[in-house]
Amino acid sequence: MTCFVSSLTPRQGRFSAYGTTVLGESGGIVVSTINQLEHCSGVERAAALARQQRQAVLISRTLRIDAVDPLDFFAAGTDSYGGERGVLADPGEMLTLVGVGVCDRIDVQTSSRSRFTTVEKEWNRRLERLVTEGPFIKGAGPLLMGGFAFDPEQPGSNTWKTHLSASFVLPKYLLTVRKDGCWLTANRWIAPDENETEIARIWEQEQAELLQRASQSLRDKGPATWEVEEVAPQRWKETVRQSAADIRAGILRKVVLARELRLKAAHPFVPEAVLSQLRREQTNNYLFAMERGNSCFVGATPERLVKRDGDQLLSACMASTIRRSEDPDEDRQLKEQLMQDAKNREEHAAVVSMIRAVFQRECESVEIPDAPTLYTVRNMHHLFTPVTGYTRSDTTLLSMVGHLHPTPAMGGFPQADATAMIREREGMDRGWFAGPVGWIDRNGDGEFVVAIRSGVLRDKCAFLFAGCGIVGDSDPESEYEETKIKFQPMLSALKGAGEE
């Protein structure tokens, strides 16, 4: 069937009818006589529009599908889309996103703070030429998945050469899994000279292949043993001692210092096996994986940076840590100790005061409890204070990411001094470790988490990272022990991934 667009009027705003949305800013494209296209598919409408406009149009089609396990879908993408896959799942798996393949990407390699707004502008520019088909489902349809490096001014290392200072992907195929169902979105740019029938045929074939493979749930195992190199632990402890002394001298209030473990195995690490193990072990955490070529950055973090849902913004202050015990009595004592401990309360308070200040500046209203509660994950307890705000009209998700990152749970306080100290003293490229990773949809809603409890998998090597909030009372030996606890989630998942 051929579709004709009889007239297109540039108009401000958004138009939506018959399951088709065409977004246009002033001078952009809006279908004013959409009625004539009512009987056409989204691909046909997009192709007609592309011909009429003589420029490419983005089509995004969402279909409801039968239940599929997100990690089976991720694994199913290995052959055709290996190196171009991403996963984001929230705690309790209320929403899981798996993207495979690249329809479009926004990569920014800059050392300036503008990387957040650049991604936002580029995304909005693409949305000006969007046609959608299918139901509007939160977490489905056209959306970007990606992340930001912790500090773009840090000199880049070999470990992170694949993960740029900002890198986002509009997936070719996106699986959305929620408690109320599963959806598959296909995204594609259609050029004026492309044939819609051919595109529809390729879509059907590729989707059928992906879903067929996912139903076979074939997942490889990873290695179960490896050699570990602990990078400069003595030097790290000395840096902690020096930084605590500087904090006591009033140079700054808090700094987070991280260190690295390097693993070398006889066989390649397998991202889907590691993810599957993390999902099993690290409930109460966000799961994430971002592949770029031969490297996969993967982890399970408890820490939300910011979520936007309409005019509501949610953040969380999560800092201060104590180990867990298998003995319930001892575990209870440890929890009490964490709640009472002055050093840990100070570590946490620095995070609350910074996030509160940003929210008070950027929101109409803010709600923050007076005292922290406990947040328990498999290997440790944290102090936790949730933050809720209601946005002003000009507050966007990525502007909030830019204002908040790095919070004093990842950087320190004051922000600029702490980031400079990390750059100077840590002696390591954090890459995306402790940076924001997440997703943003066409309405500007989405969620970013802080990518800790994580590592880079590259063939037979894995690079793991963990850090600690240093305050005046910090003791180098106990901070070192704390990083050992924070390496546990990844070490355990890597091990389990080899034994499945």
Ligand X SMILES: C=C(O[C@H]1C=CC=C(C(=O)O)[C@@H]1O)C(=O)O
> Which residues contact ligand X (rule: CB under 6 A)?
256, 258, 303, 318-321, 347, 382, 409-410, 434, 452-453, 466-469, 486
Strand 57-65, strand 130-133: pairing = parallel
- The smaller minimum CB distance to ligand X, of residues 75 and 466, is found at 466
Residue 15's alpha-carbon distances to 18, 29, 120, 251, 474, in angstroms, are 10, 10, 21, 54, 57
Residues near 130 by beta carbon (within 8 Å), at least 6 away in sequence? 21, 22, 23, 57, 58, 59, 60, 142, 442
**Which single residue is written with the structure tokens 């209601």?**
390
**Which single residue is written with the structure tokens 């490419």?**
56
Catalytic residue among 254, 362, 426, 482: 254
Pairwise CA distance, residues 428 & 233, whole Å:
12
Among 154, 165, 321, 379, binds Mg ion (CB under 5 A): 321
In this structure, is the dihedral angle defined by the CA atoms of residues 150, 156, 159 and 163, taken in order, positive or negative?
positive
Give the tokens for residue 137. Answer: 């489902």
Smallest distance, Mg ion to C-beta of residue 180, A:
38
Q: Which listed option, Mg ion, ligand X, none, makes contact with residue 467 (CB within 5 to 8 Å by class)? A: ligand X
Whose CA is closest to 409, among 452, 454, 448, 455? 452
What does residue 26 show for φ and ψ, rounded to 5 degrees? -55, 125
Pairwise CA distance, residues 450 & 306, whole Å:
9
Smallest distance, ligand X to C-beta of residue 394, A:
30
Catalytic residue among 303, 347, 362, 482: 303
Q: Which listed option, Mg ion, ligand X, none, makes contact with residue 146 (CB within 5 to 8 Å by class)? A: none
| Binding window for Mg ion (CB under 5 A); candidates: 40-48, 143-151, 316-324, 390-398 | 316-324
Whose CA is closest to 253, among 89, 471, 67? 471
Please report whether residue 469 would count as binding Mg ion according to CB under 5 A.
yes
- The smaller minimum CB distance to ligand X, of residues 258 and 422, is found at 258
| Binding window for Mg ion (CB under 5 A); candidates: 102-110, 313-321, 405-413, 447-455 | 313-321
Give the tokens for residue 317. Answer: 């202050």
> Using omega within 30 degrees of 0 as the cis cutoff, is the peptide bond preceding 476 cis?
no
Smallest distance, ligand X to C-beta of residue 320, A:
5
Contact (CB, 8 A) for 185 and 176: yes
Smallest distance, ligand X to C-beta of residue 435, A:
12
- The smaller minimum CB distance to ligand X, of residues 31 and 352, is found at 352
- The smaller minimum CB distance to Mg ion, of residues 48 and 466, is found at 466
Smallest distance, ligand X to C-beta of residue 304, A:
11
Pairwise CA distance, residues 116 & 201, whole Å:
37
Q: Which listed option, ligand X, Mg ion, none, makes contact with residue 453 (CB within 5 to 8 Å by class)? A: ligand X
Q: Which listed option, ligand X, Mg ion, none, makes contact with residue 486 (CB within 5 to 8 Å by class)? A: ligand X
303 is known as an active-site residue: yes
Contact (CB, 8 A) for 298 and 271: yes
- The smaller minimum CB distance to ligand X, of residues 97 and 434, is found at 434
Smallest distance, ligand X to C-beta of residue 468, A:
4
- The smaller minimum CB distance to ligand X, of residues 57 and 352, is found at 352
Q: Which listed option, ligand X, Mg ion, none, makes contact with residue 452 (CB within 5 to 8 Å by class)? A: ligand X
What does residue 442 show for φ and ψ, rounded to 5 degrees? -70, -20
Smallest distance, ligand X to C-beta of residue 103, A:
33
Q: Which listed option, Mg ion, ligand X, none, makes contact with residue 279 (CB within 5 to 8 Å by class)? A: none
- The smaller minimum CB distance to ligand X, of residues 397 and 434, is found at 434
Give the tokens for residue 236. Answer: 């790290």
Please report whether residue 474 would count as binding Mg ion according to CB under 5 A.
no
206 is known as an active-site residue: no
In this structure, is the dihedral angle defined by the CA atoms of residues 290, 448, 104 and 209, taken in order, positive or negative?
positive
Active site residues: 254, 303
Q: Which residues of this protein are in contact with Mg ion, per CB under 5 A? A: 321, 468-469
